[in-house]
Amino acid sequence: MAGPLAGLKVVELAGLAPAPFAGTLLADLGADVVRVDRAKPGADVLGVPNDPLTRGRRTIGVDTKSPEGVEVVLRLAERADVFIEGFRPGVAERMGLGPDDVQGRNPRIVYGRVTGWGQDGPLASAAGHDINYLSVAGALEPIGRAGERPVPPLNLVGDFAGGGMLLAFGILAALHERNTSGRGQVVDAAMVDGAALLMTQLFGMRSAGMWPNERGGNVLDGGAPFYDTYETADGKYVAVGAIEMRFWGDLVKVLELDPDELPVHLDWNQWPRLREILAAAIGKYTRDELVARAEGTDACLTPVLSPWEAAAHPHNAARGTFVEIGGVVQPAPAPRFDRTPPATPEPPHEKGADTADVLAELGYDAEGVEALRQAGAIAS
Q: Could you give the residue numbers annotated as active site?
A: 129, 159
Which DSSP category does 256 fall into?
A: T
Pairing of the two strands 32-38 and 186-190: unpaired
For helices 366-374 and 67-78, the axis angle rounded to 10 degrees is 140
Q: Which of 43, 42, 26, 44 is nearest to 34 (CA)?
A: 26
For 68-111, the DSSP string reads HHHHHHHHHHHT-SEEEE-PPTTHHHHHT-SHHHHHHH-TT-EE
Sequence-ordered list of residues with C-beta below 8 angstroms from that of 372, at least 6 positions apart, any chain: 68, 69, 72, 359, 364, 378
C-alpha pair distances (Å), 188 with each of 23, 79, 92, 379: 15, 22, 13, 30
Size of the chain, expressed as the number of residues it contains: 380
Q: Which of 45, 75, 81, 51 is nearest to 62 (CA)?
A: 75
Sequence-ordered list of residues with C-beta below 8 angstroms from that of 369, at least 6 positions apart, any chain: 356, 359, 360, 378
CB 378 within 8 A of CB 359: yes
Nearest 5°: CA angle at 26, between 313 and 337?
A: 55
- Per the omega criterion (within 30 degrees of 0), is the bond before 225 cis? no
Count other Cβ atoms within 10 Å, centred on residue 276: 12
**CA–CA separation, 195 and 134 (whole Å):** 6
Pairing of the two strands 58-62 and 32-38: parallel
Sequence-ordered list of residues with C-beta below 8 angstroms from that of 132, at least 6 positions apart, any chain: 116
